[in-house]
Amino acid sequence: MNKAPIYVWRAVWYVLRVAVVVGLVILIFVVAFNTAMNLGSIYIMATEGMELRADVVLGTASADELTNYFTGEWIESDPLVQSSPYADFKISSYNYTARLTSMSAWAWSSTGTVTITERVGAISGSSTSGETDASGNAVRPPAWEERTYELTMQKDENGRWWIASVEVTETGTETSPSPTPAA
C-alpha cells in the first residue's frame, strides 16, 4: 500500500490551516489598526472642533474657522453659533475643559459617534455697551451651562472626518463666571 497520497493530503491540509490562521491574524491586525486610526481622528476632530466652537460662541474666534471641523449644514443650524449669548461682551479669558466619555467607529464605517461633556468656567469679560446692573456694577457675562453632547461624525470620500451634528443629551449646572477686575 502506497502512503504517499496520505502524506500529501496531510501536508496540504496543514498548509491550508496555517494559511487560514495567518490570514485571520492579519485581518484582525488590519481591522484593529483602521479602527484605532478612525478613533484617533475622531478624537482630535471632536475635541478641537468643540473647543473652537466655544471660542466662536465666546467671540474669541471667527465662525469661518468652524468649516475646518463641522459640516456647513450644521454650522448654519447651530443656535449658539448663530445667536451667541456672549455677543454683547468682550471676553478676556475663560477655562475650557472637554471630557470624552465614549467614542465608536468601526474600521469599515463612515460614521462614528462621540459623547463629550463640555465645561467653560471662569469667564471674565466686560459688556461692550458699558451696561451696569442695579447696584452700579458692570454687567458680567452669563454663566456657561455645562452640557453633555452626542456628536455624529461623518467620513467623506477622502477619508477626512467631520462633525455632522451635535445634540445635547444632558445639561448640568451652570458654572458661575469670575468677576471682572476693576480697571
What's the pLDDT tens digit per position in 89-125?
888 888 889 888 888 888 788 889 999 999 888 888 8
Residues of the chain with pLDDT under 70: 1, 173-183
- Classify 4-175 by CATH class: alpha beta
| Residue 26 CB neighbour total at 10 angstroms | 10
pLDDT value for 122: 85
Domain residues of the chain, as ranges? 4-175
pLDDT value for 180: 61
pLDDT value for 177: 53
pLDDT value for 84: 83
Report how far residue 137's alpha carbon sits from residue 181's, in angstroms, rounded to the nearest whole number: 11
pLDDT value for 179: 61
73-95 as b/e, with b when 16 or more CB fall inside 10 Å? ebbeebeebeeeebeebebeebe
Mean pLDDT of the chain: 85
